Amino acid sequence: MMTKPTQTVLRLATAAWLLLLLVSLGWELWWAPLRPGGSWLALKALPLCLPLAGIVRGKVYTYQYSLMLVLAYQAEAVMRLFDAQAASRWCAAAALLCSSVFFIAGLRYVQLARREAA
């Protein structure tokens, strides 16, 4: 049985992951695509779908490797913060916020889950 703080952190991390998935898709398909009409770069959201079930269920191992995966999205967001297009900068800021929240909440969730398991 999870404690209330662990459940809260799990919900926060899950929401941040889902928002990052939404931002990644919307960014390249509608809001600020590299090419008008959308771009194949929207496929970058596909790796975010793979661990989704484990993230929602709160599997610690899934969180551990997802914490490494999200760093790639953080790096892309930081690089594209300096894009010439304003809409792209806003999307990059949103992606950076979502990935940072997931990273911090995910680390805390793993810490709390391990403590409860011991």
Query: Tens digits of per-residue pLDDT, 26-84?
Result: 999 999 988 888 888 889 999 999 999 999 999 999 999 999 999 999 999 999 999 99
How many domains are contained in the chain? 1
Residue 38 within a domain? no
Residue range of the domain that includes 82: 4-33+43-117
Residue 28 within a domain? yes
- Kindly provide the b/e burial profile for residues 59-74, where b requires at least 16 CB atoms within 10 angstroms of the residue's own CB: eeebbeebbeebeebb
Rounded to an integer, the average pLDDT of 83-90 is 94
Residue 88 within a domain? yes
Give residue 93's pLDDT band: very low, low, confident or very high (50, 70, 90). very high
Query: What is the model's pTM?
Result: 0.94
State the Cα–Cα distance between residues 75 and 25, nearest whole angstrom: 17
H-state helical runs in the chain: 4-26, 46-49, 52-57, 60-80, 86-117
Give residue 86's pLDDT band: very low, low, confident or very high (50, 70, 90). very high
